[in-house]
Amino acid sequence: MLINITTLPGDGIGPEVTDQAVHVLQAVAEAFDHRLKITQKNIGGAALVANNDPLPSDTVQSCLASGAVLLGAVGGPAFDSYPSRLRPEAGLLRLRSELGVFANLRPAICLLGLESLSPLREEIVRGTDVMIARELLGGLYFGERSTKGDSGRRRAVDTMSYSEPEIERIARIGFQLARQRRKELTSVDKANVLDSSRLWREVVNRIGSEFKDVQLSHMYVDSAAMALVSRPTQFDVILTENMFGDILSDQAGAVVGSLGLLPSASIGGKVGLYEPIHGSAPDIAGKGIANPLGAILSAAMLLRHSFQLEAEAASVEMAVREVLADGHRTRDLAGKTDRPITTSEMGQTVAGRVRERVQAPAN
Ligand code: IPM
Ligand code: MG
């Protein structure tokens, strides 16, 4: 089939890791006999420099005309003083909303053998396998906001707002994910304080009655944050609103100790958007030491969710696990005794493994 995607390398380490994800997609296309068509466009700081707009309209058009979008990262210190509308992050938020991707899936898995990367004790983190389903187009990020008044007495307001249909559609995604996993869903809110959370809980309970095979529980976000570090293995799927999901997903990444390994998928809209969660990491950009596995695993999610290519997605994920099990490490994963490999060596190694696996499939 035709795998027609737009890549948005963006800023910082974005271009380096996206390159490697593209190599792996090329390996998948060859091994499984698909045709890969890639259009590269600007976003974020790269687009601000080139077009004075963090999300140029030809980028949006290309994304909407493709089967999926693979993004590297946006942002960097050079843009910190830009007005909010012209920040790289504004480009990403607008892209999410142009694509209509309301469901952000962020898996955080502690891979066997990588327990020591976690800042937590190995016995606490071992076996952690959480999927965060974060609402992506509502809440504080998209509510009304303003800053008013005279200097020294100004007041800034952000609004956390959710409608029933917005909660319903993300809840359904959460329950469906749980159904394909261990069938446990924890909905995270702050219903002891917030109206938006009380509505959230009510709607999630209602949708839950359609998924009787999934065990639903509710947790306040503060206690979820605590549970995520004290007993991370208790979670299967976490369903939560935009801001809580932003925070908890970084926390989950830190818990498994390998931010560089973690992918994400933003789905539910016209076209899916896939990106590693590590961000632009300007301090290590251009040095060839960034970990491309988050981007590569995002490409696997792209194959699965936007093209329904499950075997292809699984071949990438298996290749990554094997390469790690063989001891290949980028600098962020390397122990004192390992010799770290570069970004492109890691990409080539995974791509090579994808080709080998398909030529000689394990049974
Ligand atoms: C993320 C990032 C973004 C967010 C920023 C860059 C706007 O932190 O994808 O988690 O807050 O959603
Ligand atoms: Mg974040």
pLDDT per residue over 104-115, tens digit each?
999 999 988 889
Per-residue pLDDT of 28-69, as tens digits, reads 999 999 999 999 999 999 999 999 999 999 999 999 999 999
Per-residue pLDDT of 134-166, as tens digits, reads 999 999 999 999 999 999 999 999 999 999 999
* DSSP E strand stretches across 14-160: 35-40, 68-73, 103-109, 129-135, 145-148, 155-158
Ligand 1 closest atom vs CA 275:
9
Residues with CB under 6 A from ligand 1: 75, 89, 92-93, 246
Q: How far is the CA of 270 from the centre of ligand 2 (A)?
A: 22
pLDDT above 70 covers a percentage of the chain that reads: 99
Judged by average pLDDT, the poorest of 64-68, 131-135, 235-239, 249-253 is: 249-253
Ligand 1 pocket mutation pick from 43, 93, 274, 278 by most atoms within 8 angstroms of CB: 93
Query: What local confidence, expressed as pLDDT, does residue 101 receive?
Result: 98
Query: What local confidence, expressed as pLDDT, does residue 362 receive?
Result: 53
Closest-CA residue, ligand 1 atom 8, reads 246
CA 13/CA 331 separation, integer angstroms: 14
Q: How far is the CA of 247 from the centre of ligand 2 (A)?
A: 6
Residue 218 phi, psi (nearest 5): -120, 145
Query: What local confidence, expressed as pLDDT, does residue 259 receive?
Result: 85
**Average pLDDT along the chain:** 95
Ligand 1 pocket mutation pick from 86, 92, 240 by most atoms within 8 angstroms of CB: 92
Closest-CA residue, ligand 1 atom 5, reads 89
Query: What local confidence, expressed as pLDDT, does residue 140 receive?
Result: 96
For the annotated catalytic residues, the residue numbers are: 141, 190, 222, 246, 250
Closest-CA residue, ligand 1 atom 10, reads 246
Query: What local confidence, expressed as pLDDT, does residue 358 receive?
Result: 76
> Averaged over 297-323, what is the pLDDT?
97
Query: What local confidence, expressed as pLDDT, does residue 360 receive?
Result: 67
Closest ligand (CA of 275) = 1
Q: How far is the CA of 95 from the centre of ligand 1 (A)?
A: 12
Gyration radius of the chain over CA positions: 20
Residue 303 phi, psi (nearest 5): -60, -40
DSSP β-bridge partners for residue 70: 7, 274
Per-residue pLDDT of 172-200, as tens digits, reads 999 999 999 999 999 999 999 999 999 99
| CB neighbour list of residue 198: distance below 8 Å, 6 or more residues apart | 189, 191
For residue 363, pLDDT beyond 60: no
CA distances from 10 to 110, 185, 260 (A): 28, 34, 17
Closest ligand (CA of 247) = 2
For the entire predicted model, the pTM comes to: 0.94
Q: How far is the CA of 134 from the centre of ligand 2 (A)?
A: 11
Query: What local confidence, expressed as pLDDT, does residue 361 receive?
Result: 57
Q: What's the token pair of residue 164? A: 């029933």
Q: How far is the CA of 171 from the centre of ligand 2 (A)?
A: 20
> Averaged over 217-224, what is the pLDDT?
98
Closest ligand (CA of 264) = 1
Q: Over the range 121-142, which residues count as b (16 or more CB within 10 Å of their CB) and which as e?
A: eeebbeebbbbbbbbbbbbbbb
Query: What local confidence, expressed as pLDDT, does residue 190 receive?
Result: 98
Query: What local confidence, expressed as pLDDT, does residue 335 receive?
Result: 80
Q: What's the token pair of residue 140? A: 């504080």
